[in-house]
Chains A and B, each alone.
Chain A
């Protein structure tokens, strides 16, 4: 007779300091049921947003996440701009793409390093993070900050990238790209790595769609879903090409992130080269009207949604955040069911979980 045991995995992941507990119901070594337990880092951020001035909420939105922070502030600003009918200058749109894509590169390098750490390849983890440092250097050189950039504003951006600095950024990107192929080969071609990733945590295409998966998790299962295709900011002018894999396993999710590194490098280069001259912001006065908007953007982890409702004052009536990890949790539960206990750390990390964003 098979005996059922419940094993709590977490809240501390072996390599990722994001507090989520997965309560795993086991039959021998096989998981038959998984339940998420969250609530360790809930900050009441949506409530604070209602009490602050809508301009202050730009800073608040940026602090939802400590990895893809710029993209949060960009989505908030785009939402308020839609609500208040503000036309952002073209140069600001290109600058937003540059910082959003450098954020995507550093986020993907971070999680790829942690995936390497999760399957026990510590040297690869350190080398990926060494490259990530160079991306952080680019952000520091262009904004003065390494992760929480603070450059996005309602009506545009706060800082410009002068031509000499743009040239320097292009040189640094070339240097990053030179180092990537060797590291990516280790991630995608190494025999031991493949043994840990191929066929693990499979999420079929139809299940991914039904469970509302987003971002690299959805694209690794063959779903063509990337909001950058809709052409927000300057993406419409940058010939964006989506990365899609079919197998739906941890290997495919890793492969999507690896290939997106090159897509993002390409997008930053094109944005720098095609960026028009002109102002970088327009003044915004008044307050958001009594109306509502659902702003969305493609974050490194997938589709991010902000519901913003104004009431004619400088306080928002409602600010709701739906992060991609929140959308990917049902898909994670599906992946875990039927897998071996030893695969849990890799499966959990391959959705790139950000629990601080999820709980807000």
Chain B
């Protein structure tokens, strides 16, 4: 139900984002989703409460060009994507190198589906020593 979504290619990102800036749009944020082989990246923009979204699917391992030179507001969210999704963003004016939100020793790209998290999908096994004491 996301309306006004345009699918673009990785090469055309700077041009399309620049066009939206010229049209008076404001940068809202970016979203990245892990779709196993690719990262689905969405750019969200707004003008007078009317939203527009750009969608680009990038194969994992491909660098995403930074748009922080066009919208400085994108700088922090691009750094966040590097941290949490493991997407390399090229041309960042300030690169936190994966240490924007995450501390030293934190898991790499924790929001990728391959990284297990805590919750109902995780089965916690009893320690081997304790198994023998459980009565059936």
Contacts and interface: CB of A to CB of B under 8 A. Distances in A.
Interface of A: 35-36, 38-39, 42, 44, 46-48, 50-53, 82-83, 209-212, 227, 229-230, 291-294, 303, 305, 307, 309, 315, 317-318, 320, 322, 326-327, 329-330, 359
Interface residues of B, number: 35
Contacts of B115: 47
Given A39-B102, A42-B102, A44-B117, 8 more contacts: A44-B110, A47-B111, A50-B117, A210-B26, A210-B73, A212-B27, A227-B49, A330-B76
Interface of B: 1-2, 26-29, 31, 33, 42, 44, 49, 51, 53, 71-73, 75-77, 84, 94, 99-103, 110-111, 115, 117-122
B73 A211 contact: yes
A307 B77 CA distance: 14
Contact of B72 (A36, A52, A53, A211): A211
A272 to B, nearest CB: 27
Contacts of A50: 117, 119
Nearest to A291: B1
Contacts of B2: 292-294
A330 B49 CA distance: 21
Which among B33, B72, B73, B75 has the highest number of chain A CB atoms within 10 Å?
A: B73
Contact of B42 (A209, A211, A212, A307): A307
A330 B118 contact: no
A329 B73 CA distance: 8
A48 B31 CA distance: 17
B117 to A, nearest CB: 4
B119 A309 contact: no
Contacts of A320: 31
A318 B31 contact: yes
Given A209-B26, A317-B33, A39 B1 contact: no
